[in-house]
Amino acid sequence: MELSGPAKRLTIVVGEQDRAGHGRHSLATEIVHMAHGAGIAGATVVRGVEGYGKSNHIHTTRILSLSDDLPVVVTIVDNAEAVERFLEQVLPLVGGGLVTVEDVEVRHYVRHQENG
């Protein structure tokens, strides 16, 4: 797959305790697996060390107020059509969280070669 020039970045922020379906997988893991299955160019999950959202409750890794529900950010970049198509699939899963879509320009994207 080749990806360069204008693209879209889909960012999904949820809590690490958020689950997909009946509590099987974390929501972030489910989103990554869905993106892979949909042929999305790439997805990355980053665990936050501190944050707050709609609940206005601060979640942090600091030892005196250690949280078990830190923010998790899933970032996906692909062409506009792929992101919009994927967004329709994933949006119903995000009960609580933040979803944004931004215009980006891909300057460099090279997949690693498979060992074999």
Task: Determine, yes or no, domain membership for 115.
Answer: no
- Give the domain extent around 34: 5-106
Task: Determine, yes or no, domain membership for 90.
Answer: yes
Rounded-to-integer distance, Cα 45 and Cα 10, Å: 12
What residue type is assigned to position 99 of the chain?
V
52, 96 in Cβ contact below 8 A?
no
pLDDT of residue 58: 66
Rounded-to-integer distance, Cα 36 and Cα 55, Å: 31
Task: Determine, yes or no, domain membership for 116.
Answer: no
Tokens of 94: 């995000």
Give 43: exposed, middle or buried? Use CB within 10 Å, 0-12, 13-18, 19+: buried
Task: Determine, yes or no, domain membership for 15.
Answer: yes
What are the per-10-residue average pLDDT scores of the chain (116 residues)? 86 87 81 95 89 66 60 94 96 90 91 64
Task: Determine, yes or no, domain membership for 112.
Answer: no
Task: Determine, yes or no, domain membership for 66.
Answer: yes
Look up the pTM and report it: 0.82
Domain of 85: which CATH number?
3.30.70.120
Task: Determine, yes or no, domain membership for 39.
Answer: yes
pLDDT of residue 92: 92
pLDDT of residue 73: 95
- The domain tally of the chain equals 1
